[in-house]
Amino acid sequence: MGAPGGPVSIPEKVRDLMPGMEPISFSTMAIRKQALKEAGYNPFLLHACDVLIDLLTDSGTGAMSSRQWAGMIASDESYAGASSFYRFESAVVDITGFKHVIPTHQGRAAEHILFSNIAKKGDIIPNNTHFDTTRAHVENQGAEAKDLVSQEGLDLEAILPFKGNMDLKILQELVEKVGTEKIPAIMLTVTNNSGGGQPVSMANISGVSKIARANGIPFYLDACRFAENAWFIKTREREYASTPIKDIAQEMFGYADGCTMSAKKDGMSNIGGFLALNDDELATRCRNMEILTEGFPTYGGMAGYDMEAIACGLYEALDEDYLHYRIRSIEYLGEKLISAGIPIVQPTGGHALYINARAMLPHIPPLQYPGWSLQNGLYLLGGIRGVEIGTVMFGLQPDGSEKPATQDLVRLAFPRRVYTQSHVDYIAEIVINLYEQRNLLMGYRIIEQSPVLRHFTAKFEPAE
């Protein structure tokens, strides 16, 4: 029987016998059907123990190294001025080169502090593609979150090296049209999570920087996956082929004036983040807000041991062997799916593979959420949890109306240092099997939702 009050009946067996281990929970289709129904057909609301392979996110789900744990055991938990903070700060400054480092409990807290201090009603924040939390924080200030990803990035199947690039011509035109006073910052998300995890080239980062500097507009990186982006620059931008990953990362940051960071990604930690920037006056305002919302500026929302994990993790993310294995695993899954005829975003991304649910399930209209149907199908068939990046996530408009998102994708995101090739083979088998019976999948309708970031908590029922 499941935990008291829990929805499911996976045997407790190993779970209780081996605290700290993650047993593999083999479950039957009948158990998963019941679990999903009790979760309002929303995989975010499942109990994680009822998931066999969890590809919901790569955020905070990685395995930490023995070095990270060693640092955590030796952490300094002083409220103010902890040595763990100074180790964290020095790693961030070393890699990013930014002057001020403001720790936060995760990436969205850095976004909240930044946008509350720079954006106001009527402003525009350009980005290649805003991630959902970034968009929500921009819109929460009454500003417009404008996506300017290049035309290439919108072509899901074009095999091109840097589909996360921003369209520099459109950016330039936007600056000329609306004027610099309406653009308090330009952002660039590396890699472009909501656009298929596609990388941004160094040439494009430098191009955005040139436009920003020529117009006196601050330029920020959403740096969650900076190391994966650096790997793609090394392997796809010829002049960087023999440049060490750390040097590439430093150069990327060197073009910007600051960054927001969720350390749950390329910080290799389970929690944490930061805002880093060069502007002294803005940093003071941000620190004042941090005290109000996160905590004292030498811990933000983190424990000393979290800062130790990040201080070590930021360097581990730059390890070339690790990056090679990680990015090749996802590419290998992509090759298997492509050879079975499954439409995926190509090339595969740094942290995830994205299935084009709209193309795979043309019989489900976008407003019946083909991505949602596909992610639920993967769970029912094989206990795999992915996440919809589509109309449920982006379709709700600020005025409460709904329209189809540009794309309906299902993201299979890989936790860092967790899954091996045999897991990947199992995933491929399930996706291919589901593809073969795709006509059986049906759409959904929403029966309960929140006005922002609705995908996290919405409840659904099958449309027919």
Ligand X SMILES: Cc1ncc(COP(=O)(O)O)c(C=O)c1O
- Of 68 and 189, which CB lies nearer to ligand X in the complex structure? 189
Q: How far is the CB of 110 from ligand X (least distance, A)?
A: 8
Among 56, 72, 174, 224, indicate the residue that binds ligand X (CB under 6 A): 224
Q: Is the dihedral of CA 451, 289, 186, 409 positive or negative?
A: negative
Q: How far is the CB of 57 from ligand X (least distance, A)?
A: 6
The two tokens of residue 172 are 């330039």
- Of 232 and 435, which CB lies nearer to ligand X in the complex structure? 232
The C-alpha angle 187, 190, 191, rounded to 5 degrees, equals 140
What are phi and psi for residue 145, nearest 5 degrees? -95, 110
Residues in contact with ligand X, shown as a per-residue x/- string from 46 to 75 under the rule CB under 6 A: -------------x----------------
Q: How far is the CB of 264 from ligand X (least distance, A)?
A: 5
- Of 26 and 456, which CB lies nearer to ligand X in the complex structure? 456
**Binding footprint of ligand X, residue count (CB under 6 A):** 14
Give the C-alpha separation, 78 to 307, whole Å: 12
Residues 122-181 within binding reach of ligand X (CB under 6 A):
131, 133-134
What are phi and psi for residue 143, nearest 5 degrees? -95, 170
Give the C-alpha separation, 384 to 40, whole Å: 17
Give the long-range contacts of residues 282-286, CB within 8 A, separation 24 or more: 282/117, 282/118, 283/99, 283/100, 283/102, 285/117, 286/100, 286/102, 286/113, 286/114, 286/117
- Of 189 and 209, which CB lies nearer to ligand X in the complex structure? 189
Among 32, 146, 234, 264, indicate the residue that binds ligand X (CB under 6 A): 264
Q: How far is the CB of 157 from ligand X (least distance, A)?
A: 22
What are phi and psi for residue 459, nearest 5 degrees? -115, 145
Q: How far is the CB of 302 from ligand X (least distance, A)?
A: 12
- Applying CB under 6 A, does 25 fall inside the site for ligand X? no
Q: How far is the CB of 416 from ligand X (least distance, A)?
A: 13
| Distance linking the first and last C-alpha atoms of the chain | 31
In sequence order, what are the residues at sequence separation of 6 or more whose Cβ sits closer than 8 angstroms to the Cβ of residue 326?
228, 350, 351, 414, 416
- Of 222 and 294, which CB lies nearer to ligand X in the complex structure? 222
- Applying CB under 6 A, does 193 fall inside the site for ligand X? yes
Name the residue whose CB lies closest to ligand X.
Answer: 107
Q: How far is the CB of 12 from ligand X (least distance, A)?
A: 30
Q: How far is the CB of 239 from ligand X (least distance, A)?
A: 26
Residues 91-110 within binding reach of ligand X (CB under 6 A):
106-108
- Of 267 and 382, which CB lies nearer to ligand X in the complex structure? 267
Among 123, 222, 266, 306, indicate the residue that binds ligand X (CB under 6 A): 222
Q: How far is the CB of 68 from ligand X (least distance, A)?
A: 17
Residues in contact with ligand X, shown as a per-residue x/- string from 348 to 377 under the rule CB under 6 A: ------------------------------
Q: How far is the CB of 429 from ligand X (least distance, A)?
A: 27
Contact 123, 144 (CB under 8 A): yes
Residues 269-298 within binding reach of ligand X (CB under 6 A):
273
- Of 264 and 438, which CB lies nearer to ligand X in the complex structure? 264
Contact 133, 193 (CB under 8 A): no
H/E run at residue 463: none
Residues 235-254 within binding reach of ligand X (CB under 6 A):
none
What are phi and psi for residue 27, nearest 5 degrees? -130, 165
Among 25, 27, 61, 189, indicate the residue that binds ligand X (CB under 6 A): 189
- Of 227 and 342, which CB lies nearer to ligand X in the complex structure? 227
At which residue do the structure tokens 């929805």 appear?
7
CA distances to 190, 236, 268 from 309, rounded to whole Å, are 22, 30, 8
**Residue 209 bridge partners (DSSP):** none
Q: How far is the CB of 108 from ligand X (least distance, A)?
A: 3
Which spans in 361-419 are helix H? 370-382, 391-394
**Residue 233: half-sphere exposure toward Cβ, Cα within 13 Å:** 29
Among 229, 262, 356, 368, indicate the residue that binds ligand X (CB under 6 A): 262
In sequence order, what are the residues at sequence separation of 6 or more whose Cβ sits closer than 8 angstroms to the Cβ of residue 357?
370, 371, 373, 374, 388, 390, 408, 409, 410
Q: Applying CB under 6 A, which residues contact ligand X?
A: 59, 106-108, 131, 133-134, 189, 193, 222, 224, 262, 264, 273
